[in-house]
Structure 1
Amino acid sequence: MPSDISAVISRLYVYPVKSCAGVQVQDVILTETGLEFDRAWMVVDDKGHFLTQRELPRMALIKPQLRHSDMVLRAPGMLALHIALDQVEEPVRVQVWKDEVQAYDMGAIAAQWFTDFLGQPARLVRFDPEHKRVCSLQWTGGVEALNQFSDGYPLLVISEASLAQFNEKMVAAGSAPVGMERFRPNIVLGDAPGDQELAPHDEDRIELLQIATEQGVVELKPVKPCPRCPIPNIDPATATSSPEVGDMLQTYRQDARVNGALTFGMNLIVLAGVDHQLKVGQAAGASYLFE
Structure 2
Amino acid sequence: MLRLSEIYRYPMKSAIGEALQSARIDALGLAGDRRWMLVDAENGRFLTQRAYPVMSQLMARWNAAGGLRLSAEGLATLEVALPDADANLRGAFVWGSSMHVPDAGDEAAEWLSGFLGKACRLVHVPDHRARDIPGSLLPEEKVGFADGFPLLLIGQASLDDLSERVGRPLEMLRFRPNLVVEGSAPYAEDGWKRICIGGIEFSVAKGCSRCILTTIDPKTGERSADREPLTTLKTYREREGEVYFGQNLINRGSGVLDVGMQVEVLE
TM over 0.5: yes
| Partner SS, residue 189 of structure 2 | helix
The answer as to whether partners of 2:83 and 2:104 remain within 8 angstroms in 1 is: no
Distance 2:249 2:207 in 1: 9
| Within-5 A mapping of 1:48-87 | 48-69=44-65, 70-85=67-82
Is residue 88 of structure 2 the alignment partner of residue 102 of structure 1? no
Cross-structure match for 1:183 = 175
Q: Using the TM superposition, name which of 103-112 and 72-81 deviates more.
A: 72-81
Aligned equivalent of 1:248, options 217, 232, 249: 232
Cross-structure match for 2:259 = 280
Letter in 2 for 1:232: T
- Listed as ranges, the gaps of 5+ residues in structure 2 are none
Residue deviations 1:133-174 (CA, integer Å, cap 9, x gap): 11123xx5x444210000010000001111111111111xxx
Cross-structure match for 1:218 = 200
Residue deviations 1:40-67 (CA, integer Å, cap 9, x gap): 0000011211101111010110012334
Distance 1:81 1:237 in 2: 22
Cross-structure match for 1:131 = 129
Q: What do you get for the CA RMSD once the two structures are aligned?
A: 1.6
Is residue 221 of structure 2 the alignment partner of residue 236 of structure 1? no
Letter in 1 for 2:235: T
Letter in 2 for 1:11: E
1:85: Cα distance to partner? 4.3
| Partner SS, residue 124 of structure 2 | strand
Cross-structure match for 1:207 = 193
The answer as to whether partners of 1:23 and 1:64 remain within 8 angstroms in 2 is: no
The answer as to whether partners of 1:102 and 1:128 remain within 8 angstroms in 2 is: no
Is residue 262 of structure 2 the alignment partner of residue 270 of structure 1? no
Residue deviations 1:10-57 (CA, integer Å, cap 9, x gap): 000111111111111111110121101111000001121110111101
Letter in 2 for 1:248: T
Distance 2:157 2:138 in 1: 29
Distance 2:131 2:84 in 1: 21
Distance 1:168 1:238 in 2: 22
1:238: Cα distance to partner? 1.0
The TM-score with structure 2 as length reference comes to: 0.93
Distance 1:170 1:9 in 2: 25
The TM-score with structure 1 as length reference comes to: 0.85
| Within-5 A mapping of 1:149-168 | 149-168=145-164
1:287: Cα distance to partner? 3.9
| Partner SS, residue 157 of structure 2 | helix
The answer as to whether partners of 1:233 and 1:246 remain within 8 angstroms in 2 is: yes
1:86: Cα distance to partner? 6.6
1:91: Cα distance to partner? 1.4
Q: Using the TM superposition, name which of 142-151 and 262-271 deviates more.
A: 142-151
| Partner SS, residue 92 of structure 1 | strand
1:128: Cα distance to partner? 3.4
Identity of aligned residues (%): 36
| Partner SS, residue 153 of structure 1 | coil
Is residue 93 of structure 2 the alignment partner of residue 112 of structure 1? no
| Partner SS, residue 79 of structure 1 | strand
- Listed as ranges, the gaps of 5+ residues in structure 1 are 1-5, 192-197
The answer as to whether partners of 1:63 and 1:75 remain within 8 angstroms in 2 is: yes
Aligned residue pairs, count: 261
